[in-house]
Amino acid sequence: MRYVILRDDDTHALTPISSLERLYRPFLDRGLSVNLSVIPEVRLDARRPDGRIEGFLPEGHRPQAATRRMEENPDLVAYLQANPGYHVVQHGCFHDCFEFDQVDAAAAARLMDQGGRRLREAGFERPHTFVAPHDRFSRAGLAAAAQRFEVVSTGWFEWGRQPRAWLPHYAWKKARRVPHWRVGGTALLSHPGCLLSRNRPVASILPAIRSQVEAQGLTVLVTHWWEYFEAGEPVIPFIDVLHETAAYLANTPGVRVISFGELAGGAVSLD
C-alpha cells in the first residue's frame, strides 16, 4: 500500500468557505482526507519573504486590527467541524515571515502554545501535527515542535538545523536516503515541494504526482487554497487538475489517502 497525505496550507479566519468547498468537495465526497494547516491567529498584514502581502489575505483588505483569531469566524469553524473529512493541523501562530526560523526555545514554545490555545478556543481538538510557516525551523524551533506534537511536516531537514541530540538519527536517515524519519515519539515528514502549484505548468502536475506517489511509501502533497483564485476569480485549469488528482487518488488500486492523525495515532507506519 502507498499512502498519500494532502496538506493544504494557510486556512485562517478570513478564508472564504466557498473557496474550500469549491476545491475540496470532490475529495470529501470520495472519502479522501484533506489536512488543513490552519493559522490560529492570522497576522492581517502578514508579509512574504520578498516583502509583499501574503497571497492568502484578501486583496485590498484594510485591517482594523493586528490579528484575527479562528474563533472570530464561527461560520468557518462550523463548516470545518460539519465535514469530518477535514483535519485541522496547526500552522504556526500568526504566520509571521519565517516565524520559527530564528527563534530560541522560549519564543518557539510560547508561539506554539499560544497557537494551540487559539485553535482550542475556536472549538478544535488539541492539534497533533505542526507545520511551520514557509517550512522553516531553527534548531530550537524544531526541538520545541517535537516536544509538543506527534507529527511535524516540513519541506526538508538540514544538518545545521537539527537539535544536536538528533544528529545520529539524522545521519542514519541520510544514509538510508529516506524522506521521513522518527525521533522519539515524533514523526518527521518531508515533502517533494509544492507539486500542486499554479507556478507549475498545469499539464505537468498530475504526471509529477503519479511519479512521486509510485516512488515511495508515503507522499505528502502540499498545496495552497488561495493559489486557485486570482483576484477572487477561480483559476479553472488549476482547479480542474486538483479535481483530476482527487479522481486519481480515489481510483488507483494500492493508493490510500490518509490524515496526519492516522500517522500520529499509529494506524499507519513510516516503515
Flag whether 153 is in a domain: yes
Instruction: Pick the closest to residue 142 from 177, 186, 175 (CA basis).
Output: 186
Question: What pLDDT is attached to residue 107?
Answer: 96
Flag whether 242 is in a domain: yes
Q: Which residues contact 242 (CB under 8 A, 6 or more apart)?
A: 23, 196, 223, 228
Q: Are 5 and 260 in contact (CB under 8 A)?
A: yes
Cell numbers for 218, please give them.
508515503
Question: What pLDDT is attached to residue 189?
Answer: 97
Question: What pLDDT is attached to residue 180?
Answer: 92
Flag whether 99 is in a domain: yes
Burial class (CB in 10 A: 0-12, 13-18, 19+), 47: middle
The 10 Å Cβ neighbour count of residue 199 is 6
* CA-only gyration radius of the chain, Å: 18
Q: Is residue 132 helix, strand or coil?
A: coil
From residue 187, alpha-carbon distances to 195, 233, 266 in Å are: 22, 37, 10
Cell numbers for 212, please give them.
512521486
CATH of the domain at 107: 3.20.20.370
What is the DSSP pairing of strand 180-183 with strand 186-189?
antiparallel
Rounded-to-integer distance, Cα 161 and Cα 185, Å: 19
Flag whether 222 is in a domain: yes
Q: Which residues contact 158 (CB under 8 A, 6 or more apart)?
A: none
Flag whether 271 is in a domain: no
Question: What pLDDT is attached to residue 266?
Answer: 77
Question: What pLDDT is attached to residue 271?
Answer: 62
Burial 25-43 (b: 16+ CB within 10 A, else e): ebbbeeebbbbbbbbbbbb
Domain count for the chain: 1
Rounded-to-integer distance, Cα 207 and Cα 223, Å: 16
pLDDT tens readout for residues 208-245: 999 999 999 999 999 999 999 998 899 999 999 999 99
Structure letter (DSSP) for residue 162: S
Flag whether 167 is in a domain: yes
Cell numbers for 140, please give them.
530550537
Flag whether 39 is in a domain: yes
Helix axes 236-251, 17-29, angle to 10 degrees: 30
Give the predicted TM-score (pTM) of the model: 0.96
Flag whether 270 is in a domain: no
Give the residue ranges of the chain where pLDDT is below 50.
none
Q: In which domain, by residue range, is 108 found?
A: 2-264
Amino acid letter, residue 217: G
